[in-house]
A and B are shown apart, each in its own frame.
Chain A
Amino acid sequence: MDLLDNLGLGLQTALQWQNILFCLIGVALGTAVGVLPGIGPTATVAMLLPITFSFDEPVSALIMLAGIYYGAQYGGSTTAILINLPGESSSAVTAIDGHQMARDGRAGHALAVAAIGSFVAGTIATLVLAVAAPPLARAALNFGPAEYFALVVLGLIASITLASGSTVKALAMIVLGILLGTVGQDIYTGTPRFTFGIRELYSGINFVSVAVGVFGVAEILRNLHDPQRRTKMVDKVTNLWPSREVLRSIVGPVARGTGLGSVLGVLPGGGHVLASYASYAVEKRTSKHPEEFGRGAIAGVAGPESANNAAAQTSFIPLLTLGIPAHPVMALMVGAFIIQGITPGPEVMTSEPELFWGLIASMWVGNLLLVLLNLPLIGLWVRMLTVPYSVLFPTIVTLACIGTYSLGQNAFHVLAIAFFGLLGFVLLRSGCEPAPLLLGFVLGPLLEENLRRALLISKGDPSVFLTRPISATLLALAALALLLAVLPTIRRKRETVFVEGE
């Protein structure tokens, strides 16, 4: 049985003591930073990314980063429940009923149910990932440049479909990211582009500077601007372990959430957000007591949390099999892969089986660690919420500086953070989401390379993208995704007009 052999190999790697340790540090750090107000998983991973570069073993670095990611996600749902401050958009759903439960004095139940649901969902989704990844990677090996180009286009367009806000601005952010990605030596001719003679720019704008600037610094500046978002918190958590009836009542929601999450997580661009919303809607519709939703329904926490976590696992599928990140955190993982000297894509599974399966197995280990670590430590996390902004922000700025500087000891990368921080802040204030910019930046070089290669092979005939069936299908899907992105804007505009007419 291939699957068992592979998982065995993965567990062997993941259960080496240093990898368990890195996984533990990752989930602990991730939860800690995820709990801190105003910093979501993307900013957390961006800022802690440089720490992992000094590791000798690429697999340890990736295991720790993955740990930070789901740790931060978990921390985000903790704050959603306790202080109604979702760390990111997918835990916004958890806040609806979770925070209501906390207000009724059932914070312990909500947290425990979220943890258990997440663990079960994570376990199942990890298996889904292990089963689905190999055939997909094999199929992707047959992709030519035209197919890859179409795939990248689909990934980029789909990433804005599920996001909120203006489509024009999101598209522009993608293109701006692509342009920033062209800085540096042209892979075909070696011509340095847009470098202004600055030696540091020959190898391109540093990925970490962009990520830390746009997600970290810009977010700090935004938080220092409107710190009133903090609401009263629940200071004591009791009654953690739920009764057997409660456990029995969440079996259905967890199972449905896991199914939804596993499927939707594969979608590029915030499938996990869609998954938690979808799960909430399903639970509300199938519930015998739909009136409880919004007033502290336990299924409204268990379902979305499971969906969210399952999607977080399966969102690794496009990354590991195609090299295409599904959302900004995965784009950060691409950066981590590249800095470790590995190009993510279908070859990784065969060329680095230990790393591939080790990473997958470590996700399960990480989920287990999260449950073991977080339920007993919930008091500590609650106390972390009281860390004042005045200490928090200097810490983040300093960590970002040292971490980025330690990459090749180059102060230029720190200067670049300041530039991208300011740019990110201006764009954030003008209602532009930073995620598409980062995806464009990471995928831009891949887009250009495959565009040029495909046209070289077709002797300059652009119809190659439409005559090859897979490429044509992918592009048609991208067009559909774009249409979907535009439609809600039109609808919302109508609503606004309607409201104004009253």
Chain B
Amino acid sequence: MASPQNEVDATARRGLRPRSDADLIAGLVFVAFGVAFGVASLGYTIGSLREMGSGYAPLLFALVLTGLGIGAIVKAYVSPDTHHPGELPPEDGSVGLGFERVHWRPIVFVVAALLFFALTVDGLGLLPATFGTSAIAAFAGKGMAPFRALLIAVGLTVGCYVVFVLLLQLRLPLLGEWLG
């Protein structure tokens, strides 16, 4: 876990590269959200301190967020990461792993599974959507065999049917309009 951090430190000495990818990306995300919210809040009534309009507080917070984001970006270039090299980062994820070794597979499949459910549950109904979602999500792990994914999907669909429909009695459409 410490090695990518060291590599980042090493590259940092070679030129004006960020010492901490984590700080840089966090900062960019914050600035992006800050600017977006800030610009959008200009479209609403700002008002005065005495009578704040709809846009006052959001604009204020957007400015603060942009400022903090810039702070994180600056920090990415000037200061070393506060994390001790050689020490495992804590479980709660308070120290970033950076983006050195991002595996796309789990991200793609987990997000695809969520999107599949969101887009098909109204049309196909609960059971087919559950089946598809669990099958897609199963492929998020490395080396998943198709037959095993099928087994997992069947098991989960039956399990969810028992828990949500039979036990919790949620009134959800089991088969959607696309299937007649």
Interface residues of A (CB under 8 A from B): 40, 51, 54, 86, 88-89, 92, 163-166, 168-169, 171-172, 175-176, 178-179, 182, 186, 188-189, 191, 193-194, 217, 219-222, 224-226, 229, 389-391, 393-395, 397-402, 405-406, 409, 411-412, 414-415, 417-418, 421-423, 425-435, 448, 451-452, 455-456, 459-460, 462, 489, 492-493, 495-497, 499-500
Query: In the bound complex, what is the Cα–Cα distance between A406 and B126 (angstroms)?
Result: 10
Q: Judge if B49 is at the interface, Cβ distance under 8 Å.
A: yes
Q: Judge if B118 is at the interface, Cβ distance under 8 Å.
A: yes
Known contacts A175-B65, A448-B57: does B96 contact A428 (CB below 8 Å)?
A: yes
Chain A minimum-CB-distance residue to B64 = A175
| From B33, B65, B96, B107, residue with most partner A Cβ within 10 Å | B96
| Partner of A224 from B51, B106, B169, B172 at Cβ < 8 Å | B106
Query: In the bound complex, what is the Cα–Cα distance between A229 and B156 (angstroms)?
Result: 26
Known contacts A406-B164, A451-B57, A496-B82: does B26 contact A221 (CB below 8 Å)?
A: no
Interface of A is mostly: helix
Interface residues of B (CB under 8 A from A): 1, 21-23, 25-26, 29-30, 33-34, 37, 40-41, 44-45, 48-58, 61-62, 64-65, 68-69, 71-72, 75, 79-85, 90-99, 101-103, 106-107, 110-111, 113-115, 117-119, 121-122, 126, 129-130, 133-135, 137-138, 140-141, 144, 148, 152-153, 156, 160, 164, 168-170, 172
Q: Is the CB of B164 within 8 A of A398?
A: no
Interface of B is mostly: helix
Query: In the bound complex, what is the Cα–Cα distance between A225 and B26 (angstroms)?
Result: 19
Q: Is the CB of B29 within 8 A of A452?
A: no
Q: Is the CB of A182 within 8 A of B57?
A: yes
| Partner of A429 from B83, B102, B122 at Cβ < 8 Å | B102
Q: Is the CB of B114 within 8 A of A401?
A: yes
**Residues in A whose Cβ lies below 8 Å from that of B57:** 182, 448, 451-452
Known contacts A176-B65, A429-B97, A448-B57: does B122 contact A89 (CB below 8 Å)?
A: no
**Residues in A whose Cβ lies below 8 Å from that of B49:** 455, 460, 462
4 A-B pairs besides A390-B138, A394-B135 with CB distance below 8 A are A164-B90, A165-B94, A172-B26, A394-B134
**Residues in B whose Cβ lies below 8 Å from that of A175:** 61, 64-65, 68
Known contacts A397-B114, A412-B118: does B106 contact A86 (CB below 8 Å)?
A: no
